[in-house]
Amino acid sequence: MEIALCLLYIVVLGHGSDTNIALYKTARQSTTAVGGFASRAVDGDTNSDYMHSSCMHTNDGYGQWWEVDLFGFYEIERVVVFNRVDCCSDRLKNFTIKVFVNDPLKFVNEKPLLCGKHPGVVGISVTINCPTGVRGRFLRITNYKMGNPLCMCEVQVYGDAAPKSSM
């Protein structure tokens, strides 16, 4: 019986650490500039040339953010962020990745879990490994570079499904 329950857990909740769980999910961002819609960062296209319509882009400003709803609860293992390289690649730096159990626009007092920070400039891409136990449904990347927009050409999220009750 115990083996059957364990197998049921793997089949129902999945074991997806090699699957991009953010792909084609609903994304939103603090602001939108020059046609850089939030959905572009989860469209599966890692092309880092902005003119190929695969990068998201916010307005200038401190604290600009982008977020994806994973439509399920996951223990996040790692996040891969692809930078824009046709110009302005030095803008993507000083960002944090946080994970929320509930919608942070509705539950503004919820304390998120920190997946990681990246203080330096991102090259073509960077992989941020989350510490064990970072679980949630919403993943948010916030830019703390004063005066710069947030621009990313793809965000890939990897992790395993987790029951909400285990958080």
Tell whether 31 is covered by a domain: yes
In this prediction, residue 164 has a pLDDT band, given cuts at 50, 70 and 90, of: confident
Q: Is residue 5 part of a domain?
A: no
137 part of a folded domain: yes
Q: Is residue 10 situated within a structural domain?
A: no
Question: Confidence class of residue 2 from pLDDT cuts 50, 70 and 90?
Answer: low
Any domain includes 4:
no
Task: Please tell me the total count of domains within the chain.
Answer: 1
The pLDDT tens digits for 104-155 are 999 999 999 999 999 989 999 999 999 999 999 999 999 987 888 999 999 9
Q: What is the average pLDDT across 57-62?
A: 94
The predicted-structure confidence for 60-70, as pLDDT tens digits, reads as follows: 999 999 999 99
The string of DSSP letters for the chain reads -HHHHHHHHHHHH---TTSBTTTT-EEEES---TT--GGGGGSS-----GGGS--EE--SSTTEEEEEEEEEEEEEEEEEEEPP-SS-GGGS-SEEEEEESS-TTT-TTPPPEEEEEE-S---SEEEEEPPTT-EEEEEEEEE-STTPPPEESEEEEEEEE--GGG-
In a domain, 1, yes or no: no
Decide which of 90 and 165 is more confident.
Answer: 90
Over range 60-81, report the average pLDDT: 97
58 lies in which domain range? Answer: 16-166
The pLDDT value recorded for residue 145 is 78
pTM, 2 dp: 0.88
**What pLDDT, on the 0 to 100 scale, is given for residue 165?**
59
Q: Can you give the CATH number for the domain in which 64 is found?
A: 2.60.120.260
Query: Residue 14 pLDDT > 60, yes or no?
Result: no
User: What value does the mean pLDDT take over residues 10-35?
Assistant: 82
Domain membership flag for residue 46: yes
What pLDDT sits at residue 163?
A: 86
Encode pLDDT of 93-105 as tens digits. Answer: 999 999 999 999 9
